[in-house]
Structure 1
Amino acid sequence: MSGPFAETLLQLAGRIRAREVTSTAVTEACLDRIARGNARVNAFITVSAEQALAMAHDADREIALGRYRGPLHGVPVSFKDLVDVAGMPTTAASRLLAGRVAPSDAPVAARLRAAGAVFLGKTNLHEFAFGTTSEDSAYGPVRNPVDPSRSAGGSSGGAAAALVEGMGYAAIGTDTGGSIRIPAAACGCVGLKPTFGEIACDGVIPLSWSLDHVGPLAGSVGGARATYEAALGLPPSQAAPPPLASLRIGVLRGYFTELLDEDVRTAFEAVLRRLEAAGAALVERAVPHASDVASIYLHVQLPEASAYHAEAIEQHPDAYTKPVRLRLEMGRFVLAEDYVRAQRGALLLRQEVSAALDGCDALALPTLPIPAPPLGVDAVMIGHGSQPVRALMLRLTQLFDITRHPAISLPCGRTPLGLPVGLQLAGRLDRTRELLDVAEAIEALIGTP
């Protein structure tokens, strides 16, 4: 690749299958980019160069013998450092887990191994996935590849930064409040959160058991689809994207557009105009209790995270970064009745999102209300006042973790400063493949980065 996504995963897969290029050569190129560029963005915590090259050699040998496994065979990928990969450290970007080595693959890693993918290593993140900026990490902050003075988003910031820097063709991340889609939007790649439970969370360090999702990031919707299908052991989809003129898109406004950076608003509205000009039907949709999303999310996520970390934070409080430790301690003060009330609120929101999707192929809204913020900034000016960065970055994504609907972010433009803007699409429960169909049709209209 001469630049970000000069070649998509599926284009590379075709060349590897045709033996126009070897997996070994591609893997060596990715490892070279990591060696030369990781200091700039700090995307990787662990690089498994020897293992990656051995896997690439095995892939080349199998393909030469006619034993092609599918689109990920011989393709270099990475894993967020919450996901167990046999023989590699799993640190969760925390001093607490220093020296921990995974004895076996998480199911998602085992599936990608069976698909013939090449494992480059483990990517940096916000400690224990408990943040939106990927700057509270025992291994230092992840930096945005577009502008290293800015956040890569989080918590799967290293995964997105690595992809945009050409350090691999797909990555596995996790998403509890937006942690795949937020960095995808901030860095300018595609991030998919499937329906809750589709990709098993076993072997993945949890943040919040009722909100955690595992999913892929890639340079294109097709690459995200191929990685998602491999993670489920599904055969590659043969479906063609639907014609844009056949699509009915529900547009979420109100709460979802009342706090938007003007450059984000401009890019979002421009995409809607292009969709309408291409024949798609745009209809206004609403989620009546959207203003309760943040409160419901916090009253579920905080106590679940605190319960998981209760023993460790009592015994080793100084092993955590201070901001993450403080958030974990906050969870101890959530009353049981408030947690139950929040879970009931989550059920109501799930019903409301499903109702908004009735008669629509997908819902559309921005992924992030703001472009990637500068590192070290706790608040930004938006509208007529200052808003906390963490709350803003979660504002438009956390709903679909609460309701468990599949959602995807794809690049839809850039600000005058060149910062990426993400378009978010949400689909019906258990219809992730249909959402991917819609996303591919829209990507064909607005282009890849």
Structure 2
Amino acid sequence: MADPEIHGLTAAGVARRVREGDLTATAIVEALLKRIDERNDRTNAFVTVTDELARETAREVDEAVENGESLGPLAGVPVAIKDLDDVAGVVTTHGSKLLEDHVADANAPFVERLLDADAIVIGKTNTPEFGLGCTTDNRVFGPTGTPFDPDRNAGGSSGGAGAALGDRLVPLAQGSDTGGSIRTPSSFCGVYGLKPSFGRVPIESRPDAFGHHTPFTHLGPMARSVEDAALMLDVMSGPHPVDPFTLPDDGTDFVAATERSIDGLRVAYTPDFGIYPLDPQVRAVLDDAVDAFERAGAVVERADPALDLEQADVLDAFYTFAKVRWEALFDALETERNLDPRGADRDRLRPVTVETILESDPVTTREYKLADVVRTQIYDALRELFAEYDLLATATLAVPPFPHGEHPTEIDGTEVEPLRGWVLTQPFNMSGHPAASIPAGFTDDGLPVGMQVVGGRFADDDVLAASAAFERKRPWDESYPE
């Protein structure tokens, strides 16, 4: 069996012990490769295991330790990369049969930063086709299950990352988030996931460098502890010339933020955001958990944002933006990859991809600008709320994990759109605010429930400080299944 001492370590713990010479990077990698081999079939978290690359990088880290060289903040820490993002020399399938043999030529900018920090890429994690979905399933690798019940989906689109963390196959994983793709699997897999402020982590988007703007796409850390996520964010963040939207370095120490007091911080608690139906069990878990902020010194008040919108308005606006993005994706496949997703290659796509993009009505410019009006209403409601409060706490998802192949059609007596009508994350991809999903507790059936914590513009440090304070009052590290 894999070494339980190693697979239970945090990323911060791994880096500390490697630097001190107490554990070798090679021993860590071998233990986790063994655990992946033993357990990956449970959840289907990893789709590619980069064992040779991991062993080679581990040897380099160990040699640096032996030679007394300075090491990066993630020295010897194995990390998983989502199969939408490039690691040089490794297959990036995007979960699609159209790209199942595509090998990346170069590292994504954030991968380069992780490697420069002496992290070790141990594999690629599963995602729905092109990341288009709130559940993880595709025609190349199949579905990914939550470690708490592998017959239920891990969420998407960073489902493989969430499952890999929740099953303790790796201490750190990277996710991406255009409509909740970090926070959704974090909720379903009982881990911590942070969607940083838009522009905090650089994205290399080509041929359209501006394509990740509407709705806002974010890259961010996923981990089993808030400190680990902050450690990863410290490494990933900062301006980069390939991304016209990256934020300047404001000097924030994200790890230090996790040690900060939240005394007097004002939290607006709106479990349903004022417009979403919630499963009663989810609401009960959140109502019980939110007092952790008060016990940590914050002031919690029940307050909904002043939205003159229905849930359907938000979802319709999101779909309007997303369809434009997806059509542009198909254009890039045609021009950059010489593929024909609208014609000869159409049968290789998932039916849901075809139905959502190819068989839906094209978005008009008028519809696009009307969706911007809805987006502005969301932004203004949040602006007004954050003028009075420091943080907003709400549900991440309206439901606990559900079985593979199923989607909710009704929640607490209210009909919902099955694919995304149970997700409370999309408003913050339209506004760009930092938002995290915290493990809040469990349903009576032992299924994880996430609480979404949202900060003011660029206040990633407040989100991390509150998340860490919550974790200290309601620790979750012992909850993961063996």
Q: Same fold (TM over 0.5)?
A: yes
> What is the rounded CA distance, in whole Å, between the counterparts of 1:68 and 1:393 in structure 2?
47
> What is the rounded CA distance, in whole Å, between the counterparts of 2:413 and 2:400 in structure 1?
17
Give the deviation of 1:391 after TM superposition: 2.3
Aligned pairs for 1:282-293 (under 5 A) are 282-283=300-301, 284-291=303-310, 292-293=313-314
Distance 1:138 1:208, change over 3 A: farther
SS at match of 2:388: coil
Give the deviation of 1:359 after TM superposition: 3.3
Give the deviation of 1:416 after TM superposition: 1.1
1:250 aligns with 2:265: no
1:215 aligns with 2:220: yes
1:329 aligns with 2:329: no
Q: Which stretch has the larger CA shift, 385-394 or 419-428? A: 385-394
Aligned pairs for 1:50-449 (under 5 A) are 50-202=52-204, 209-210=213-214, 211-232=216-237, 237-239=255-257, 241-253=259-271, 255-256=273-274, 258-283=276-301, 284-291=303-310, 292-310=313-331, 311=334, 312-315=340-343, 316-330=345-359, 332-394=361-423, 396-449=424-477
Give the deviation of 1:208 after TM superposition: 5.5
Distance 1:424 1:205, change over 3 A: farther
Q: Give the letter for the 1:401 counterpart.
A: N
Give the deviation of 1:111 after TM superposition: 0.7
Give the deviation of 1:198 after TM superposition: 1.5
Give the deviation of 1:255 after TM superposition: 4.4
Give the deviation of 1:157 after TM superposition: 0.3
Q: Which stretch has the larger CA shift, 121-130 or 1-10? A: 1-10
SS at match of 2:173: strand
Identical-pair percentage: 34
RMSD: 2.3
> What is the rounded CA distance, in whole Å, between the counterparts of 1:204 and 1:188 in structure 2?
33
> What is the rounded CA distance, in whole Å, between the counterparts of 2:468 and 2:291 in structure 1?
18
Q: Give the letter for the 2:325 counterpart.
A: E
> What is the rounded CA distance, in whole Å, between the counterparts of 2:149 and 2:119 in structure 1?
30
Residue matched to 1:16: 18
Q: Alpha-carbon deviations, 1:300-319, whole Å to 9, x = none?
A: 11122122214442241112
Distance 1:278 1:77, change over 3 A: closer
> What is the rounded CA distance, in whole Å, between the counterparts of 1:49 and 1:254 in structure 2?
43
CA contact (8 A) 2:394 2:451 kept: yes
Higher share of residues assigned helix:
1
Q: Alpha-carbon deviations, 1:118-150, whole Å to 9, x = none?
A: 001111111111011102342111111110110
Distance 1:255 1:431, change over 3 A: closer
Give the deviation of 1:59 after TM superposition: 1.0
Q: Give the letter for the 2:433 counterpart.
A: H
Distance 1:393 1:3, change over 3 A: farther
CA contact (8 A) 1:201 1:214 kept: yes
Distance 1:353 1:236, change over 3 A: closer
Give the deviation of 1:71 after TM superposition: 2.8
Unaligned runs of 5+ in 1: none
Aligned pairs for 1:36-47 (under 5 A) are 36-47=38-49
Q: Which stretch has the larger CA shift, 6-15 or 366-375? A: 6-15
How many aligned residue pairs are there?
Answer: 448
CA contact (8 A) 1:55 1:118 kept: yes
SS at match of 1:391: coil
Give the deviation of 1:6 after TM superposition: 3.4
| Structure 2 counterpart of 1:25, from 3, 24, 27 | 27
Q: Which stretch has the larger CA shift, 302-311 or 151-160? A: 302-311
Distance 1:351 1:163, change over 3 A: same
TM-score (norm: length of structure 1): 0.94
SS at match of 1:148: strand
> What is the rounded CA distance, in whole Å, between the counterparts of 1:187 and 1:52 in structure 2?
25
Q: Alpha-carbon deviations, 1:246-302, whole Å to 9, x = none?
A: 221111256447511111111100112343344421122414145232121111111
Give the deviation of 1:78 after TM superposition: 0.8
> What is the rounded CA distance, in whole Å, between the counterparts of 2:119 and 2:275 in structure 1?
39
Unaligned runs of 5+ in 2: 239-250, 335-339, 478-482
> What is the rounded CA distance, in whole Å, between the counterparts of 1:281 and 1:38 in structure 2?
42
Give the deviation of 1:232 after TM superposition: 1.9
> What is the rounded CA distance, in whole Å, between the counterparts of 2:206 and 2:182 in structure 1?
15
Give the deviation of 1:222 after TM superposition: 0.7
Give the deviation of 1:204 after TM superposition: 8.3
Distance 1:295 1:258, change over 3 A: closer
CA contact (8 A) 2:127 2:156 kept: yes
Q: Alpha-carbon deviations, 1:165-190, whole Å to 9, x = none?
A: 12211111110110000000000101
